[in-house]
Amino acid sequence: MAISATVIKADLNISNIDDHYYQSHHLTLAKHPSENDTRMMLRLIAFALYASDTLEFTRGLSSDDEPELWQKNLIDDIELWIELGQPDEKRLRKACHKADQVVVFSYGDNASKSWWSANQGKLSQLKNLRIIEMSSEAYEQLEQFAQRHIQLNFTMQDKTLFISDDNHSMEWSPVTLQD
């Protein structure tokens, strides 16, 4: 018998001062059985940083041809494609042809650095690709926020993200490897 996804409810209050975006989002997302809490929280951070009324979670780990999140316009063109981890160069090349902008949130110091050094030359040719790296230290802090019902405040100011709930807080300054 297959293990089913865990349903997560998330209430996000986003104040992105850098981009002048102020909104609350009430989300329901599925945490894949093979996904850990920290990775699920990184999906929420990706949502918060690129939030819009049309940004949505996809089938993610359950699908080979969809990203973790995407934003489509009214005629179903993909405006934004968001991946997590260290995706294959071929997958990113395909995504860059399908979407106006592709963003990768790479994490795990050793895996991320190794992936970046092996792929930097090929990936630098993709002009609509942005790669953001999250240190292992910041990534591990995300677990403290994971619950079945999450209420988070995100404030982005001067390129630093402040995350808090009733009991915890952290700050993270995204490192852009490619823009």
Identify the CATH number of the domain in which residue 65 sits. Answer: 3.10.640.10
Q: Which domain does 13 fall in, by range?
A: 6-178
At residue 32, the pLDDT reads 85
User: Within a domain: residue 89?
Assistant: yes
User: Within a domain: residue 33?
Assistant: yes
At residue 95, the pLDDT reads 96
User: Within a domain: residue 117?
Assistant: yes
pTM of the shown model? 0.93
In the chain, count H helices and then E strands: 4, 11
Span 54-72, pLDDT tens digits: 999 997 655 678 899 999 9
Q: Are 92 and 104 in contact (CB under 8 A)?
A: yes
Q: For 87-107, what is the mean pLDDT? A: 96
> Which residues are registered as beta bridge partners of 172?
161
Domain count, the chain: 1
User: Within a domain: residue 1?
Assistant: no
Burial (CB < 10 A; 0-12, 13-18, 19+), residue 163, is buried
